[in-house]
Amino acid sequence: MSDAVQLPSTILRIPRLGSARSLMNALIGIAALLGVWWFGGFIVENDPDLYAFADFAPAPTLERLWEMIVSGEVLTMSGPSLERVGLGLLFAAAFGVPVGILIGRAPRIHEVTNVPFQFLRMISPLSWMPIAVMAFDTWDGAIVFLIAMAAVWPILFSTAAGVRRIDPAWLKVARNLGARPLHLLGTVILPAIAVDVMQGIRLALGVAWVVLVPAEYLGVTSGLGFAINDARDTLDYSRLAATVVVIGVIGFALDAAIGQLVKKFNWVRATAH
Amino acid sequence: MAMTLTLSDSAAQGTQDAPRRRPAPVGAHVAIKGLSHAYRRHDGKVLDGIDFEIKAGEVVALLGRSGCGKSTLLHMLSGLTHPSEGEVVINGNTIREPSPKWVMMFQAPSLFPWMTVAQNAALGLKFTRRNDQIAKRIPEILDLVDLGAFADRNAQELSGGQQQRVALARSLAPKPEMLLLDEPFSALDAFTRRNLQRDVRQIARDLGLTLVLVTHDVGEAVRMADRVIVLKANPGRVFEDTVITLSEEERSGGSDEFQAEHSRLMNIYSQAADAPGEATETTNDFTQI
């Protein structure tokens, strides 16, 4: 404790130091991942039994990735995937947010729906695949359905939890000032839960992005999942590995973007009191 | 409405006794008729046979110890809670629902933390479809509560006393006829509390509002009220209805007159608190919305 008192200038600098340090730590992590990847490639390359897979190594992969970016192939393959994930999330939110609000507001509805929803939530979204294929005319429809089935639960439960945390005094004050039910929804409930909804969407995106690739193994002839499957079938391993990198990078970027939205909607300020 | 008063400390300490031009009371007239209440049918009554009137523009304190039903009574004046028996009649109409004409202030300011001070203050006008008045009225009302410079600050950045002033501005913006205060200063430090007690009384008088406050603080009742209704508990009944005859200057405390009124009221309060109860303790819960 006494040391800390003697070093005020160091303490003041910690925030700046901290951000530089965390950036450096992130770079170390990335370098470590590349190192493991490179080492795996090195072993494969020097093993006569595995030599066919040498294109998985970083050098051929990144070279191929660059070609794919320049040729626009990366955009062509990720466009349809982003559209499917976006639509799936949209349907999931269109169902999950209103139902989540109802569940959060009405304990009775919560009690009635809790067991069925928890039951459905635990079913792997991919197990709906045969049903989805039968129920939808198009492969795209089936894929969007699978993504929505995966994405709806985090959004719904996060919304409901947010509504339950709303301070009852806010509603009392609003009613006293003449708020009608739509005012309560628009001025109190939705702004209060915006951050919970965004956090739900962030979780949902994580699940949806994972479900996307196997879902795109279905009949479609576009998208990242199809590209993976296609590269495997044509033994084009550098393309396969490059696609994996693309999937990871896009997923990371989307998550970071929604993370920023979560921050934006978070109304809790650090106060001095 | 011309609002020329200032609330800075210097102005408030000076000349309260100088004749103020008081507007004709716009305040609500309240009649409480045969009001009784039990939260559940077989529980004891929280309130029993309450009958009194409040004149337009009067400042009335409901004083009593915890559990005497004073807060329940205040909720009924606001229309947020309905009595089991009897009625509350305001300006000739029985109260059936909350209205921005009689606004309640609570112990917690309960500001909306995602809004600025000005947005919080404008809520009542927004809810009652008077958006066109916001631009003129809100700066005016924030000046009135000494927060003109804070309009664009986030509500969370303010101190407890400032937040309660925002809540006051929020309550005053829709031009209510009556303010209902449910121990709104009890969480504040003594200095801030005194200032707010003085300012709220002045604002209510200058605007001609009816003001009803609930308190268990005898000093607060003496400082703020024209009239104090002392309640006793189990069941909640009017124990004594007494007038505070102090000038504005004497209300700031310290004078012999203030001490005399304080002692007199403390005596009544103690008698009410010691009065034998008849029913069992009931819980105060207002969690229903």
Long-range pairs for B40-43: beta carbons < 8 A, 24 or more residues apart: B43/B280, B43/B282
CA torsion sign for B32, B36, B40, B41 is negative
At B87-127, the pLDDT tens digits run: 888 888 888 888 888 888 888 888 888 888 888 888 888 88
pLDDT bucket at B280, cuts 50 / 70 / 90: very low
Considering only alpha carbons, which residue of chain A is nearest residue B113?
A267
Cβ burial of B10 (10 Å; 0-12, 13-18, 19+) is: exposed
State ipTM. Answer: 0.74
Chain B residues in contact with A167 (beta carbon < 8 A): 110
Q: Which residues pair with B85 in a beta bridge?
A: B36
pLDDT bucket at B231, cuts 50 / 70 / 90: confident
pLDDT of residue B169: 87
Q: Is B263's pLDDT higher than 50?
A: yes
Of B99, B100, B110, the CB nearest to A167: B110
Considering only alpha carbons, which residue of chain B is nearest residue A189?
B112
Comparing A85 with B70, the larger pLDDT belongs to A85
Domain spans, chain A: 2-46, 59-265
Q: How many CB atoms lie within 10 A of CB A18?
A: 10
Task: Determine the Cα–Cα distance for residues A72 and A34; give it in Å rounded to an integer.
Answer: 25
Task: Determine the Cα–Cα distance for residues B172 and B202; give it in Å rounded to an integer.
Answer: 13
Region B34-63: what's the mean pLDDT? 83
| Cβ atoms of B124 and A177 closer than 8 Å | yes
Q: Smallest Cα–Cα separation from B150: which of A87, B161, A142?
A: B161
Residue A196 C-alpha, separation from nearest chain B C-alpha, in angstroms: 14
pLDDT of residue B12: 41
* Distance between first and last Cα of chain A: 24
Per CATH, domain B35-94+178-279 is 3.40.50.300: yes
Of B99, B159, B160, the CB nearest to A178: B99
Q: Which residue has the tokens 């990371």?
A: A252
pLDDT bucket at B132, cuts 50 / 70 / 90: confident
Q: Which two tokens stand for residue B106?
A: 């609570």
Q: What is the mean pLDDT of chain A?
A: 84
At A58-105, the pLDDT tens digits run: 877 888 888 888 888 888 888 988 999 999 999 999 999 999 999 998
Q: Is B286's pLDDT higher than 80?
A: no
Interface of A with B (CB under 8 A): 167-180, 183, 187-188, 191-192, 194, 267-269, 271, 273
Amino acid type, B115: M
Chain B residues in contact with A267 (beta carbon < 8 A): 113-114
Per CATH, domain A59-265 is 1.10.3720.10: yes
Of B78, B108, B287, the CB nearest to A176: B78
What's the gap between Cα B98 and its chain centre?
15
For B60, residues 6+ apart whose C-beta sits below 8 A from its C-beta are B54, B210, B211, B212, B213, B225, B226, B227, B228, B229
Residue A170 C-alpha, separation from nearest chain B C-alpha, in angstroms: 6
What's the gap between Cα B30 and its chain centre?
14
Of B98, B110, B154, the CB nearest to A170: B110
Q: Is B59's pLDDT higher than 50?
A: yes
Q: Which residue has the tokens 């020329």?
A: B4
The DSSP element (H or E) to which B60 belongs, if any, is strand B59-63
Of A167, A169, A178, the CB nearest to B127: A178
Q: Is A272's pLDDT higher than 90?
A: no
> Percent of chain A beyond pLDDT 70?
91
Helix (H, G, I), strand (E, B) or coil at B63: strand
Inter-chain touch B80–A173, beta carbons under 8 Å: no
Q: Which two tokens stand for residue A175?
A: 């009613």
Region A130-148: what's the mean pLDDT? 87
Q: Is B24's pLDDT higher than 80?
A: no
What's the gap between Cα B44 and its chain centre?
27
Buried b (16+ CB within 10 A) or exposed e, B235-274: bbbbbeebebebebebbbeeeeebeebbeebeebbeebbe
Q: Is A11's pLDDT higher than 50?
A: no
For A203, residues 6+ apart whose C-beta sits below 8 A from its C-beta are A154, A155, A158
pLDDT of residue A214: 86
Considering only alpha carbons, which residue of chain B is nearest residue A171?
B289
Inter-chain touch A176–B104, beta carbons under 8 Å: yes
Helix (H, G, I), strand (E, B) or coil at B32: strand
Residue B110 C-alpha, separation from nearest chain A C-alpha, in angstroms: 6
For A86, residues 6+ apart whose C-beta sits below 8 A from its C-beta are none
Peptide bond into B235 cis (omega under 30): yes
Q: Is A56's pLDDT higher than 80?
A: no
| Cβ atoms of B66 and B277 closer than 8 Å | no
Q: Is A5's pLDDT higher than 60?
A: no
Comparing A151 with A8, the larger pLDDT belongs to A151
CA angle A200, A205, A211 (to 5 degrees): 130
At A158-188, the pLDDT tens digits run: 999 999 988 888 888 888 888 888 888 888 8
Q: Which two tokens stand for residue B172?
A: 């005053």
| Cβ atoms of A224 and A81 closer than 8 Å | yes
pLDDT of residue B200: 85
pLDDT of residue A202: 92
> Percent of chain B beyond pLDDT 70?
86
pLDDT of residue A13: 44
Region A206-212: what's the mean pLDDT? 90
pLDDT of residue A158: 93
pLDDT of residue A37: 87
Residue A67 C-alpha, separation from nearest chain B C-alpha, in angstroms: 47
Task: Determine the Cα–Cα distance for residues B111 and B115; give it in Å rounded to an integer.
Answer: 8
The DSSP element (H or E) to which B54 belongs, if any, is strand B47-54
Helix (H, G, I), strand (E, B) or coil at B45: coil
At A32-52, the pLDDT tens digits run: 998 998 888 888 878 777 777
Cβ burial of B276 (10 Å; 0-12, 13-18, 19+) is: exposed
Q: Where in chain B is the domain with CATH 3.40.50.300?
A: 35-94+178-279
Residue A110 C-alpha, separation from nearest chain B C-alpha, in angstroms: 17
**What's the Cα-to-Cα distance from B219 to each of A4, A236, B222, B260, B269, rounded to whole Å?**
46, 86, 5, 11, 11
Of A177, A179, A269, the CB nearest to B103: A177
Among the residue ranges A6-15, A82-91, B126-135, the one predicted with the least confidence is: A6-15
Q: Is A4's pLDDT higher than 70?
A: no
pLDDT bucket at B289, cuts 50 / 70 / 90: very low
Task: Determine the Cα–Cα distance for residues B121 and B144; give it in Å rounded to an integer.
Answer: 12
Going edge to edge, which strands form the sheet with B85-90?
B47-54, B30-37, B85-90, B93-94
Considering only alpha carbons, which residue of chain B is nearest residue A268?
B113
Inter-chain touch B124–A187, beta carbons under 8 Å: no
pLDDT of residue A159: 94
Residue A95 C-alpha, separation from nearest chain B C-alpha, in angstroms: 25
Inter-chain touch B154–A269, beta carbons under 8 Å: yes
Q: Which residue has the tokens 């956090």?
A: A199
Task: Determine the Cα–Cα distance for residues A223 and A142; give it in Å rounded to an integer.
Answer: 14
